[in-house]
Amino acid sequence: MTPTTNNKRINFASIKNPLFYPDFLEVQLKSFHDFLQLDTPPERRKKEGLYKVFAENFPITDTRNNFVLEFLDYYIDPPKYSIEECLSRGLTYSVPLKAKLKLYCTDPDHEDFATVIQDVFLGPIPYMTSSGTFVINGAERVIVSQLHRSPGVFFGQSLHTNGTKLYSARIIPFKGSWIEFATDINNVMYAYIDRKKKLPVTTLLRAIGFEADKDILDIFNLAEEVKVTKANLKKCIGRKLAARVINTYIDDLSDEDTGEVVSMERITVVVDREVELTEDNIEAILNSNAQTILLHRNDSNTSDYSIIFNTLQKDPCNSEKEALYYVYRQLRNAEPADDASAREVITNLFFSDKRYDLGDVGRYRINKKLNLNIDPDIKVLTNEDIIEIIKYLIELVNSKASVDDIDHLSNRRVRTVGEQLYNQFGIGLARMARTVRDRMNVRDNEVFTPIDLVNAKTISSVVNSFFGTNALSQFMDQTNPLAEITHKRRLSALGPGGLSRERAGFEVRDVHYTHYGRLCPIETPEGPNIGLISSLCVYAKISDLGFITTPYREVKNGKVDFSDNGLKYYTAEEEEEKTVAQGNAPLDENGRFVRERVKARYESDFPLVTPDEVDLMDVSPTQIASIAAALIPFLEHDDANRALMGSNMMRQAVPLLRPESPIVGTGIEGKLVKDSRTQIVAERGGEVVFVDASCIKIRYDRTADEEFVSFDDAIVTYYLPKYRKTNQSTTIDLHPICSKGDRVEAGQILTEGYSTQGGELALGRNVQVAYMPWKGYNYEDAIVLNERMVREDFFTSVHVDEYILEVRETKRGLEELTSDIPNVSEDATRDLDENGIVRIGAHIEPGDILIGKITPKGESDPTPEEKLLRAIFGDKAGDVKDASLKATPSLRGVVIDTKLFSKAAKKKSRTSTKEAVSKLDETYAKRQQQLHERLIEKLTELTKGKTCCGVKDYLNVELIKAGSKFTKKDLEALDFNVIQLSDWTNDAHTNELIKAVAVNYLKHSKEIEAELRRRKLDETIGDELPAGIVQMAKVYIAKKRKIQVGDKMAGRHGNKGIVSKIVRQEDMPFLADGTPVDICLNPLGVPSRMNLGQIFEAVLAWAGRKMNVKFATPIFDGASLNDMNEWTDKAGLPRDGKTYLYDGGTGERFDQPATVGVTYFLKLGHMVDDKMHARSIGPYSLITQQPLGGKAQFGGQRFGEMEVWALEAFGASHILQEILTVKSDDVVGRSKAYEAIVKGDPMPTPGIPESLNVLLHELKGLGLSFSLD
């Protein structure tokens, strides 16, 4: 096999036609794009997402239907702040949502009420960034997709304690009440509404229109109708009645109070069902007014339906009215007012589209399961649905059908961002509609507008609480680009409407055969969430209905279809009963299988089949895994448990100062970097016109039409982030990898940094490894490291911490940022500026002041007189206390940036502010005018000599008459905010250009408006800060962390360890050519862990380093042993990597050869600097008075019960007493001990621990009196 070169890597893949990976962030970006549909004109928008929410809630009318508020369109304005500003100021990156609403009156009495069309502000909505995240209160968050049970019908089975099998059918709607049909041990079928109210199924059938026993029995064809005559009945003697014989008569009752005669319908049972016909019965039947009777059929089918007869026996009702009343009583625990209200309850429950919605998915699933042809637009239950479900359930009882597999991916679907936002907006708009209706009802005779009716806060409060508090809105894992992209592609079964950790059993968490190519079987957390949180596979996509699909190539008559038509995405349901061949099955040049028997997959089985039996073929062997798992080379040689650890640990790798892409990769590294949107990528072809460390400028190629319709400059500037702090305090620091004058292509990566090198993912470094013990220092997964790694900054990373101090207005006066702090030496404040903020470039040590702040102190609030005197003469010195922010005990670093935000407008007079605002208005009005002039120029040129087809506004008023010629004056008179962008001329191309020009003009105009608003705010109010905060200072401190003893490192195969010793270069074992190894790993860490991939990687990467090449070995389709031997032979290295090493200390050769190679090692986020912690005195818990725990609280180390046992075993009673009292919660004793130590006196006797007092108070609370004498 000839390896191919790809991305400067030698690729060992055997696949000829690999499918290109889809965009890895499509699951987030497409969902949000489809939710807003901003690029689609209003008239062409699909009924989904935000448009669907508006359509469901509008029009809104008042109770008398006099006023109607109609929805026309929605749009968004440009964001107030850029993403960078939101991140630094702690704001939410949002856009104003506006709706075009039309209010009109239908009542002829309100002649003076004119129809109003207005743009109404509905509040700001968080907007997704280009990388699929949301910036909420200055932090990047991700909305994780939820994997939940699909709406539809589910048939299940459970075992009763007595061994009886019970069957159930549950209908789960998208919105509305749940209904479940279930059998019991007496073979009776009940319906449960909302899991609590129970009624016989036949009662429900009567209530929905199958009134008589005959109607119910006819559904299942169970009864034979016999006309009541003496001869007919004689023939039927001995047969059982299938339905009651009922006598109906009218009874006249007189009302005692009024004497009025009232007629009532009475029902009496003449002969009950299941009774045999006898001579006596016949007489009774003939004497009743029954016309026909129903008898059991004499066929085998009847026995299957015994459950219906049993249920009829339990049914307390005989008519529809009785059934409706019965259902009403069960649901409401009250009597219905009349027949209509009784019927309304059941209609509202399942048959009203306002209250009940199966959704597209639910209707599709029910139709598919029950083979129905109900119109997909009918989203409520129908009688047909209920009957078919009951029939299917009866088949289940008789073992003629099978129950559903709840873990099959056809029964689980994904709720993406768009759908979750749709639900939230649904709640918000429904609330808003209520307040609009109330306001309409109140304002009866007034003239009002849509703006008067709408409360903008309603929607934004719902949406903000979703982003802030929902379990699926998560703080983004931003350790490195892989962590980011994995977080965005994560699927969680937890969250609202999902499972809970405690209740989820083994089956839900387990790998299912439908996960193949859809959910990764490897990447999932260890711990309580295992199997509940999973990752999308590399090729997986989410269908429109929310099901996960995976691509296959179609196979017909043993020939694989490699055309575009042959490639299709299949859901788990569509894949059922299909035989799928492996992606790397050998094919000839015509696409036919070479072998007579093909290894295949059929549902959960793995048969060997003939080529003709194959229906589909995998697109690639990689398709089974997620991105993280697909990054592990030789994954096929690793045990799954270790591969799981490997894929999880790659997400914890901190970006290094000098990263390096792996010598042995899998070929997916470049695609990941491009799709992660962490680097700057060329949008289209063009030329680099300027490059420096902070920005790149590119002149993009544009067509003449694009040039004409655009109001933008041809040169686009990209600013490079420098040491930007991530959510996990790692750094994003990008450098350009293009030069001035370079031609760039669309999709070309222009920068590197943040765990990337040369456009590929670079999480760690390639280091020389020897698998051998070294003086016992690498016992139990410990790692021995060459000192060169430290000296040459191999594993050095930069971490940035943000420190914030807020200035508030207190009761005792205003706090102040200053470098003039009481009782602090000049030396301590030498690095502070006049605002008390430390200077950039200062070296910080523990205890240093970062931000100086003083806060007023006083025993009581000052009186008005005191306030006045203070205002005149200034504050008394000494009335303030130091409230500065100081460096924590473990903080050492360099200040790289400081920021100060102030709410108060910069001490300006009102006149100067007014002047500045009017100057701004003038400047921006000029810019708008220039923009408008350019628009008119472009439109004049486009419409020159053209005849108008009519230009209308939203009220359909013709502004330029059809048939007339366009004039500059007419065009200047148009207001483009209210114009319908319909076809202006007869020329389609001209119309397209007119639309494009108008859209671009409006976009620019809105941007200018937004910028003006921003500038005005800055002039009048100052910086936007949370309520109650006057100023906010931020200091960013960078820490350069070299690798050290105690840091955690790992390879890509789950081989993790802690650095136990850093050894001088000359003491490390060395190779025959004198090269010292970089790392010594314990060879015993390999056999028991069964992650042999690391050995394959080490040997191949060593050959790669020697030959100065890089390899791509895709998972399950990588380098074979022969391929590796070929390269090791070329490099002149041992095939198994085993070679003799020499002792660095003595120079002697070791007795046995050891495996040596080059392995890709990562430094993980668990660094010893973050964990080291010591305390002498510190904060105590309020109630128990024991020291707090944890580094964040500056807590102590708990001396637990096992430690107490140890001291007891040694009889160290005094030490034990001291630990349990003065070192813990003896409040009086610890202060006495402190005094004794200071004065040099002997230690006092310990007192009573506070925990005993807590116990005594508890007992007193129970009414027991205790005293310690």
Question: pLDDT band for position 259 (50/70/90)?
Answer: low
- pLDDT confidence of 990, banded at 50, 70, 90? confident
724-725/608-609 β-pairing: unpaired
Report whether pLDDT(910) > 70.
Answer: no
Q: What is the pLDDT of residues 802-849, one digit of tens each?
A: 999 999 888 877 888 998 888 888 898 999 999 999 999 999 999 999
How does pLDDT run across 206-233, given as a tens digit for each residue? 888 888 888 888 888 777 777 877 777 7
Cross-strand pairs, 1244: none
Give this prediction's pTM.
Answer: 0.90
Look at strands 813-814 and 756-757 and give their pairing: unpaired
Q: Of 1048 and 1010, which is predicted with more confidence? A: 1048
pLDDT class for 251, splitting at 50, 70, 90? low
pLDDT at 640 (0 to 100) = 95
Residue 1094 neighbours by CB under 8 Å, 6+ apart: 1051, 1052, 1053, 1055, 1086, 1159
pLDDT tens-digit readout, 468-498: 999 999 999 999 999 999 999 999 999 998 9
Most confident option among 245-254, 1070-1079, 1242-1251 = 1070-1079
**Residue by residue, what is the 3-state secondary structure of 258-294?**
CCCEEEEEEEEEEECCCCECCHHHHHHHHHCCCCEEE
CB distance 694 to 720 below 8 Å:
yes
Q: Where are the alpha helices (DSSP H) in 294-357?
A: 301-304, 306-314, 320-332, 339-346
Number of other CB atoms surrounding residue 941 within 10 Å? 11
Q: How far apart are CA 259 and CA 530, in angstroms?
A: 76
* Inter-residue long-range contacts of 857-860, CB under 8 Å, 24+ positions, other chains counted: 857/812, 857/881, 858/812
Q: What is the DSSP secondary-structure string of 480-524?
A: SHHHHHHHHTEEES-STTS--TTT--HHHHS--GGGTTTB-SS--
The answer to whether 355 and 349 have CB atoms below 8 angstroms apart is: yes
What six digits make up the tokens of 50?
């935000």
Distance in angstroms (rounded) separating the CA atoms of residues 158 and 166:
5
CB atoms inside a 10 Å sphere around CB 557: 8
C-alpha distance from residue 388 to each of 220, 384, 392, 1082 (Å): 10, 6, 6, 65
Lowest-pLDDT choice from 101-105, 582-586, 915-919: 915-919
* DSSP summary character for residue 638: B
Task: Say yes or no to pLDDT of 610 above 70.
Answer: yes
For residue 306, what pLDDT is reported?
Answer: 83
The SS3 of residue 1097 is helix
Q: At 431, is the pLDDT very low, low, confident or very high (cuts 50, 70, 90)?
A: very high
Question: What's the pLDDT band for 4 if we cut at 50, 70, 90?
Answer: very low
HSE, CB side, 13 Å, CA atoms: give it for residue 1136. Answer: 7
pLDDT band (50, 70, 90) for residue 1002: confident
Q: Provide φ and ψ at 897, rounded to 5°.
A: -165, 150
Q: Percentages helix, strand, coil for the chain, rounded to the nearest 5?
A: 30, 25, 40
Give CA–CA dist 233/940, Å, rounded: 94
Higher pLDDT, 921 or 641: 641
Over residues 952-988, the pLDDT tens digits come to 776 667 777 776 777 777 677 777 776 777 777 777 7
Given pLDDT bands bounded at 50, 70 and 90, which one contains residue 951?
confident
| pLDDT tier at 3, thresholds 50, 70, 90 | very low
Q: Can you say how many angstroms the Cα of residue 506 is from the centroid of all Cα atoms in its chain?
A: 24
Write the pLDDT tens digit of every residue in 316-373.
Answer: 888 888 888 888 888 888 888 888 888 888 888 888 888 888 988 999 999 999 988 9
- Token pair listed for 1165: 């986020």
- C-alpha pair distances (Å), 1053 with each of 60, 362, 521, 664: 60, 42, 16, 13
Question: Please, are residues 240 and 295 in contact by the beta-carbon 8 Å criterion?
Answer: yes
1247/904: higher pLDDT: 1247
pLDDT at 148: 92
**Residue 870 — pLDDT band, cuts 50, 70, 90?**
confident
Query: Which of 39-53, 730-744, 1113-1127 has the weakest average pLDDT?
Result: 39-53
Predicted local distance difference test score (pLDDT) of residue 480:
93
Question: 1132-1148: per-residue pLDDT in tens?
Answer: 999 999 999 999 999 99
Task: Give alpha helix (H) positions in 443-505.
Answer: 450-453, 457-469, 481-488
User: Model confidence at 262, in pLDDT bands (50, 70, 90)?
Assistant: low
Side by side, the strands of the sheet bearing 880-882 are 816-817, 853-856, 880-882
Band (5; pLDDT cuts 50, 70, 90): very low
Provide the percentage of residues in the chain whose pLDDT is more than 90.
51
Asked if the model's pLDDT at residue 1130 lies above 70, the reply is yes
pLDDT mean across residues, the chain: 88
Give the model's pLDDT for residue 1139: 96
Pair 245, 293: CB distance under 8 Å:
yes
The C-alpha atoms of residue 570 and residue 584 are separated, in whole angstroms, by: 19
- CA 695 → CA 687, 721, 723, 751, 1207, distances in Å? 14, 9, 14, 10, 64
User: Which pLDDT tens digit goes with each residue over 131-173?
Assistant: 999 999 999 999 999 999 999 999 999 988 888 889 999 999 9
Q: Which of 124-138, 429-443, 660-674 has the lowest mean pLDDT?
A: 429-443
